[in-house]
Structure 1
């Protein structure tokens, strides 16, 4: 049984509405361009009101950074085998989350990533998303290493892993092999 079957009818309806808004937004972005697409157009295409749109997304830009993968990756990171280093545990978490993601969902995420990295008006939001990722990862690193969150090692490890994501995604968002290879470099240690 998958997670959707365990959700209530209300939760499933909310999930469908969110997915419909995302799908219609990306269809309109591709057809009209991001800048030429309004929230009202997206809402109309998704058959919801603008008010409903804003219940799911605080802004048009948030459609691009609505990344539902952070929490599952962090959860998989914390649950990774204890003998793995933090970097290897993160690599494990990526494989767990992306290895089980339905193809359609991955396609939507890849489109979203592409737009985030290619549109100047979204770059600021992308930076904020990286900071959010780094903070969430730092909390998980503290748990994984059994260290206090204030330990200077914790944000450095989280920042290094997030840096790998930034540098590999800049050229090609969701470049799986590049991310995994870069994590391997980080895990082996930086050259002297």
Structure 2
């Protein structure tokens, strides 16, 4: 049985099995974040998370290799990279970034977006997670740098690319910090407006 179909617009639509897996993974992470916020990251066990998500502990590890993976997620890295590179070559890197981010956020449900905010708030409130997030930040910045360099036709180590990537990530981090303090903030609109301020910056 085919697990993927094509929509009328040519987009790949996940099959039943993939959708079920995605729901299970989302449920596990949602319950994990809730328990982490309620009783603390260190005090929460995998067994408690499995019970709350109504799955076996082995199922939790099937989707998340480590406890930290329940908080840190790279699920959006590859889709974003593909969206970014798919943008018109006539667009500047920041215009392509804005368009790719808008497309990605349009595909995320309100519930999923709220979960991402909860994850970020959790990282800020737990020293152990904040320290561990440095590796996650480095990985994200490396991905951004590689994608920008590819579009600009430069080496990822080019000082201009590195400076541009740092500015881009700095804006995204600042908006995320503001969002953590203001759950009513329109994250998508605020981020897009902030990134617009980088329009004159070129890698």
- Scaled to the shorter chain, the TM-score interval is 0.7 to 0.9
Specify the SS of the correspondent of 2:71: helix
TM-score calculated relative to the size of structure 1: 0.82
* Residue of structure 1 equivalent to 2:22: 15
* Cα distance in 2 between the residues matched to 1:27 and 1:160: 32
Indicate conservation of the 8 Å contact 1:65/1:125, yes or no.
Answer: no
**CA offset digits 1:26-84 (Å, max 9, x no partner):** 33234433333211110222233333322211322221111422222222221222222
The more displaced of 119-128 and 172-181 is 172-181
Where does structure 1 lack aligned partners over 5 or more consecutive residues?
none
* Cα distance in 1 between the residues matched to 2:101 and 2:140: 14
Q: Does 1:180 align with 2:192?
A: yes
* Residue of structure 2 equivalent to 1:46: 53
* Cα distance in 1 between the residues matched to 2:106 and 2:13: 21
* Cα distance in 2 between the residues matched to 1:169 and 1:48: 32
* Cα distance in 1 between the residues matched to 2:163 and 2:191: 18
* Residue of structure 2 equivalent to 1:79: 86
* Cα distance in 2 between the residues matched to 1:182 and 1:20: 32
* Cα distance in 1 between the residues matched to 2:127 and 2:80: 27
* Cα distance in 2 between the residues matched to 1:145 and 1:119: 38
Indicate conservation of the 8 Å contact 1:28/1:42, yes or no.
Answer: yes
* Residue of structure 2 equivalent to 1:112: 119
Specify the SS of the correspondent of 1:188: coil
Where does structure 2 lack aligned partners over 5 or more consecutive residues?
1-6, 181-185
TM-score calculated relative to the size of structure 2: 0.78
* Residue of structure 2 equivalent to 1:98: 105
